[in-house]
Amino acid sequence: MSTSTITEPVTGPGGRHAPAAPRRPRPARRDRSVLFRLFTKVVAIVLLLAAWEFAPRAGLIDPTFLTPFSEVASALAELAANGQLAEHVQASLTRSLSGFGIAVLVAVPLGVLIGWYRVVSDVLTPLVQLFLNTAALALLPVFVLILGIGEASKIAIVIYACTWPILLNTISAVRNVDPTLLKLARSLDLPPLQLFGKVVLPASIPTIFTGLRLAGAAAIVVVIAAEMVGAKAGLGFLINDSQYNFAIPSMYAGIVAISVIGVGFNQLLVFIERRLTNWK
Amino acid sequence: MSTKISFDGVGHTFPIRGSHDRLTALEDIDLDIADGEFAVLVGPSGCGKSTLLDLLAGLSAPSSGRILLNGEPVSGPGVDRGIVFQQYALLPWRTAQGNVEFGLEATGVPKRERAERAREYLELVDLAAFADRHPHELSGGMKQRVAIARSLAYDPDVLLMDEPFAALDAQTRESLQDELRRIWRRTGKTVVFITHGIDEAVYLGQRVAVLTSRPGRIKSIVEVDLDREAADDIRSTPEFAQHRHEIWSLLHDEVVRAQEQEKEAVSA
């Protein structure tokens, strides 16, 4: 999940679309282009699912190891029906969202503070880079050793994995606020609190959200891995446990569930970002 | 008329990176600007014009000499001076209206009054219809008009303008120059306007102070005595040409010298 060595902000998944040029196509053409856009968006996924369905059925792959997608879907439906899916999803989401939330609450204010003092950020940025690029999972044994195998170690490692991308992007956001805006604020003799609230923070939001999206992806990866090591619930546990018990359709069902959750969380963050930066 | 701004032996130096020497940007500036005057400072690039404006704005303190505003030494930034920047300095997340209100928030104008005042000043710069647009939806000229409205709305005594029209195309620049003169006459503000354009200096200024190349000193002060209402196209009158030539002659040697300095700096 440490995909970035940054001082410059990194663009995470789910980039924005440029606004379409203002033109007024005929209704018929617009209908066709909407359909076409929908088609381009889903075609690759549909092809993947089709290959997943037919490769095992056609005997290209042993169906024991790659269950056709339709069977995975029915396994998923069964898990949803008997309440197991909800239980595991809830366990995983509670861990990743609480870790993510704590990391946001800590790293954003800390990043603003560090970024504001050039010397402090010069001193601390290499350290943050080091932590960012130390795979969080390498530290899982350390967390388990110190915090035990319960919830605390799992949430702690999510916090760890989320903190660094948020911190680094917040630092870089604050450092890169347009200097003429700061000069303007200074010429108006704006008090520090207003300077942060009205200039520095709004100017930093796009870059901070880049960090949030990276952290969101990291939160999910890390929680799954932590659940695979030692847990009694959670999608990571479901995937691993199903594999041990040779319940291969359930295993794939768990994988599908986590990828849907990952995409959903990222889309949610993109949506919030757009609401906050609708001036763009 | 009473003196509004007074530069009294002002000099400014900057530390040079990797050296114990200091770069002298400004030296021995003596200049009085009267209340309500439109004063233009013109000089070659790198002569310290913008530094002079920063000192007057209180964004930094002069290394020597002093600057008086209404007889009081300038000790820091304040809302008695409004700055208009070349790069507009608009908050991209606020509408035109919001940007004008920003200056009013900083000066503690009560909330209800802000919206009304902002609208009034957007009307002054002829942008009332664009009050709810964000900066990226506005042209360069419109952005600078918003910035001017913002600086005027909190009613500073002095308007400091740092090459405000340099980034605009020629037609937009001329129409904003007209607009600025109109606003100046209507509001009676003291304006200190920095430019490197000679035409702009002659067209706008009652007095034009010509600065030397680095270190910047006042080379000469030219009184521009034009009856701007007399001709339709004042820029093509013989009087305009004469003032233009006078300032051009004063600047010419300085520009050559400034270019040599730049070459030395690049090859050093």
Please give the full DSSP string across A214-242, using - where no structure is assigned. HHHHHHHHHHHHHHHHS-SSSHHHHHHHH
Whether residue A180 and residue B87 make contact (CB cut-off 8 A), yes or no, is: yes
Which residue does chain A place closest to B93, by CA atoms? A279
pTM of structure = 0.80
Within a domain: B138: no
The pLDDT tens digits of the residues spanning A83-114 come to 999 999 999 999 999 999 999 999 999 999 99
Which residue does chain B place closest to A178, by CA atoms? B89
* pLDDT of A115 higher than 50: yes
The dihedral over CA atoms of A166, A169, A171, A174, expressed in degrees to the nearest 10, equals -120
C-beta of residue A74 within 8 angstroms of C-beta of residue A67:
no
Among B114, B145, B140, residue whose Cα is nearest residue B129: B145
Distance CA B222, CA B209 (A): 6
Among B174, B151, B150, residue whose Cα is nearest residue B236: B174
pLDDT of residue B257: 80
Q: Which residue has the higher pLDDT, A269 or B220?
A: A269
Tell me the residue type at A133.
N
* Range of weakest confidence among A122-136, B39-53, B139-153, B228-242: B228-242
pLDDT classification of A5: cutoffs 50, 70, 90: very low
Q: Which residues contact A182 (CB under 8 A, 6 or more apart)?
A: A195, A199, A200
- For B103, the token pair is 């200056």
Within a domain: B110: no
Q: Does A279 touch chain B (CB under 8 A)?
A: yes
The pLDDT tens digits of the residues spanning A228-238 come to 988 889 999 99
Within a domain: B137: no
pLDDT of residue B119: 93
C-beta of residue A221 within 8 angstroms of C-beta of residue A266:
no
Within a domain: B94: no
Give CA angle at A126 (A123, A129), nearest 5°. 140
pLDDT classification of A28: cutoffs 50, 70, 90: low
Of the partner residues B92, B106, B134, the one whose CB lies closest to the CB of residue A188 = B106
* pLDDT of B94 higher than 80: yes
Residues of A with CB below 8 A from B136's CB? 279-280
CATH at residue B228 = 3.40.50.300
* Range of weakest confidence among A21-25, A62-66, B94-98, B238-242: A21-25
| Average of per-residue pLDDT across B174-196 | 91
Structural domain for B66, as ranges: 3-80+156-267
pLDDT of residue A146: 94
Phi/psi of residue B17, nearest 5 degrees: -65, 135
Looking at every residue in chain A, the average pLDDT score rounds to: 88
pLDDT of residue A23: 46
* Structural domains of chain B, count: 1
Among B57, B165, B135, B147, residue whose Cα is nearest residue B102: B147
Q: Establish how many alpha carbons lie within 13 A of residue B112's alpha carbon, considering only the half-sphere containing its beta carbon.
A: 0
pLDDT classification of A27: cutoffs 50, 70, 90: low
The pLDDT tens digits of the residues spanning A160-214 come to 999 999 999 999 999 999 999 999 999 998 988 899 999 999 999 999 999 999 9
Closest approach of chain B CAs to the CA of A184, in angstroms? 7
Radius of gyration of chain A (CA): 23
Q: Does A201 touch chain B (CB under 8 A)?
A: no
Within a domain: B123: no
Q: Does B78 touch chain A (CB under 8 A)?
A: yes
* pLDDT of A17 higher than 90: no
The pLDDT tens digits of the residues spanning A132-159 come to 888 888 999 999 999 988 899 999 999 9
pLDDT of residue A9: 46
Residue A150, by phi and psi: left (phi above 0), alpha (psi -120 to 50) or beta?
A: beta
Within a domain: B18: yes
- Chain A with chain B: Cβ pairs closer than 8 A: 53
The superfamily (CATH) of domain A72-276 is MetI-like (1.10.3720.10)
The helix or strand, by DSSP H or E, that contains position B24, with its residue range, turns out to be: strand B22-34
pLDDT classification of A8: cutoffs 50, 70, 90: very low
Q: Does B70 touch chain A (CB under 8 A)?
A: no
Whether residue A279 and residue B102 make contact (CB cut-off 8 A), yes or no, is: no
Residues of B with CB below 8 A from A198's CB? 91, 102, 105
Closest approach of chain A CAs to the CA of B105, in angstroms? 9
Distance CA B79, CA B102 (A): 12
The helix or strand, by DSSP H or E, that contains position A117, with its residue range, turns out to be: none
Q: Establish how many alpha carbons lie within 13 A of residue A10's alpha carbon, considering only the half-sphere containing its beta carbon.
A: 21
Residues of B with CB below 8 A from A184's CB? 83, 85, 89
DSSP B216: B
Within a domain: B139: no
pLDDT of residue A279: 78
Among B218, B202, B190, residue whose Cα is nearest residue B7: B218
Distance CA B8, CA B65 (A): 6
C-beta of residue B31 within 8 angstroms of C-beta of residue B7:
yes
Of the partner residues A181, A189, A280, the one whose CB lies closest to the CB of residue B91 = A181
The pLDDT tens digits of the residues spanning B210-224 come to 998 888 888 889 888
The pLDDT tens digits of the residues spanning A49-66 come to 999 999 999 999 998 899
ipTM value: 0.86
Omega cis (within 30) before B156: no
pLDDT classification of B47: cutoffs 50, 70, 90: confident
Q: A248-276 and A235-244 are packed helices; what angle lies between their axes, rounded to 10 degrees?
A: 160
* pLDDT of A2 higher than 60: no
pLDDT of residue A26: 52
Within a domain: B205: yes
Residues 227-266 of B with CB under 8 A from A: none
Among B29, B38, B43, residue whose Cα is nearest residue B210: B43
Please state, in angstroms and as integers, the Cα–Cα distance from residue B162 to each residue in A185, B28, B47, B50, B197, following that order: 16, 21, 13, 7, 12
Which residue does chain A place closest to B95, by CA atoms? A279
